[in-house]
């Protein structure tokens, strides 16, 4: 399984900067960096830009989740200072520096398409949809690193049931926020914005699929996807779309940003699969953020008991 460049890393012991920059040169040679719009932008209308920053929140009385791993968590500093968030720059330290003034108040998430009850949710409404849980999830990045983060949110299926998908709804498409005035470095990222992703409806309904509003007991920092994002722990990191503004239920498989950009590298499913290598590196092992030695990569990132049945009969080397 292969997919987007990952979101949150640690320092030089994970992916050397020279390797990362070489990849960008390769994309330029393919005519990808700086390319004009493909079809992602046409998938949705742009949401109206929010205006003032969503107030930082400390969460108390969180529900303990049965889905949490007991593995050692990475530090808050790790998770907030080594990120992939190309709207704010393509180097790993760029988002923490450049997203400081990202304004996220008056945030609206529009839910539409094949649903009986389309709706626009404010952040206050999202926070009241279901009891908030702390879920300590493993994550695996396509760049061969991994991380453990205590996210805060609730199963996305709580929202799905509220809007009542019609029988035609087979997929869920997601769109992130994009405003070139707030994100001027996005023009140099080499991918089309707004960022889009998608899931099959059964994947979206899986209890592990998290609508996330915080981490480490507080609301999400800007560089980690404030104020609301998806977290899908059995898939590579780029599937967990940040700064979510639009959700669309639809009959056809939606385009996804990295699949549009490099389809032979990044497939729709993006399930963690140690048996499918990226064209430029092995996925068989990974390095946990902050550690020196590599460990074997687990199928479905170790969540096979909860998700493997959704892919019975599928060739996961072809459907990567």
Query: Average pLDDT, stretch 121-145?
Result: 96
Question: Does any domain span residue 3?
Answer: no
Q: Is residue 5 part of a domain?
A: no
If 0-12 CB within 10 Å is exposed, 13-18 middle and 19+ buried, where does residue 294 land? Answer: middle
Which of the two residues, 63 and 28, has the higher pLDDT score?
Answer: 63
Strand 285-288 relative to strand 145-155, pairing: parallel
Q: What is the mean pLDDT of residues 287-301?
A: 96
Q: Tell me what pLDDT residue 8 has.
A: 35
Phi, psi of 19, deg, nearest 5: -65, -45
Residue 86 has pLDDT above 90, yes or no: yes
Residue 316 domain-assigned (yes or no): no
Domain membership of residue 28 (yes or no) is: yes
> Is the residue at 198 inside a domain?
yes
Total domain count, the chain: 1
Residue range 203-262, pLDDT digits in tens? 999 999 999 999 999 999 999 999 999 999 999 999 999 999 999 999 999 999 999 999
* Within a domain: 318: no
With vertex at residue 47, the alpha carbon angle to CA 44 and CA 53, rounded to the nearest 5 degrees, is 145
pLDDT at 64 (0 to 100): 86
> Does residue 222 belong to any structural domain of this protein?
yes
Element (H, E) at 296: strand 294-296
Q: For residues 78 and 218, is the Cβ–Cβ distance under 8 A?
A: no
In-domain check, residue 62: yes
Residues 35-78 pLDDT 10s: 333 333 333 333 333 433 445 689 988 998 999 999 999 999 99
> For position 160, which CATH number holds?
3.90.420.10
CA 1/CA 267 separation, integer angstroms: 7
Residue range 190-214, pLDDT digits in tens: 999 999 999 999 999 999 999 999 9
Q: Are 113 and 249 in contact (CB under 8 A)?
A: yes
Given this model, what pLDDT does residue 275 score? 95
Using the predicted structure, report yes or no on whether residue 30 has a pLDDT greater than 90: no
* Helix (H) / strand (E) containing 77: helix 76-81
Tell me the backbone φ, ψ of residue 28, rounded to 5 degrees.
Answer: -60, -40
Higher pLDDT, 152 or 54: 152
Q: Tell me the average pLDDT of the chain.
A: 86
Range(s) of the domain holding residue 138: 17-311
- Give the Cα separation of 214 and 281 in Å (integer): 32
pLDDT > 50? residue 29 = no
Count of H helices and E strands in the chain? Answer: 9, 13
CA nearest neighbour of 161 among 207, 225, 214, 218: 207
Q: Which helix (H) or strand (E) holds 50?
A: none
């Amino acid at each position: 399984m292969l997919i987007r460049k990952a979101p949150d890393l640690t320092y030089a012991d994970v992916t050397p900067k020279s390797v990362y920059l070489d990849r960008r040169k390769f994309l330029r040679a393919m005519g990808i960096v700086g390319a004009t719009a493909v079809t992602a932008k046409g998938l949705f209308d742009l949401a109206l830009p929010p205006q003032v920053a969503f107030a930082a929140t400390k969460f108390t009385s969180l529900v303990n989740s049965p889905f949490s791993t007991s593995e050692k968590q990475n530090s808050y500093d790790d998770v907030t200072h080594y990120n992939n968030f190309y709207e704010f720059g393509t180097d790993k330290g760029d988002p923490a520096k450049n997203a400081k003034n990202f304004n996220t108040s008056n945030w609206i998430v529009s839910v539409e398409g094949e649903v009986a009850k389309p709706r626009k949710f404010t952040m206050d409404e999202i926070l009241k949809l279901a009891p908030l849980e702390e879920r300590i999830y493993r994550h695996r990045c396509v760049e061969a690193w991994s991380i453990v983060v205590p996210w805060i949110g609730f199963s996305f299926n709580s929202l799905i049931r509220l809007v009542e998908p019609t029988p035609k709804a087979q997929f869920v498409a997601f769109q992130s926020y994009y405003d070139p005035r707030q994100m001027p470095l996005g023009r140099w990222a080499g991918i089309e914005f707004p960022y889009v992703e998608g899931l099959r409806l059964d994947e979206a309904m899986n209890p592990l699929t998290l609508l996330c509003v915080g981490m480490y007991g507080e609301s999400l920092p800007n560089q980690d996807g404030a104020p609301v994002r998806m977290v899908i722990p059995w898939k590579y990191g780029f599937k967990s779309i940040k700064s979510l503004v639009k959700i669309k239920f639809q009959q056809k498989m939606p385009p996804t940003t990295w699949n549009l950009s490099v389809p032979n590298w990044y497939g729709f499913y993006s399930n963690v699969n140690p048996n499918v290598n990226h064209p430029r590196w092995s996925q068989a092992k990974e390095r946990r953020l902050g550690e020196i030695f590599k460990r074997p990569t687990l199928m479905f990132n170790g969540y096979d008991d909860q998700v493997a049945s959704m892919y019975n009969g599928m060739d996961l080397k072809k459907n990567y």
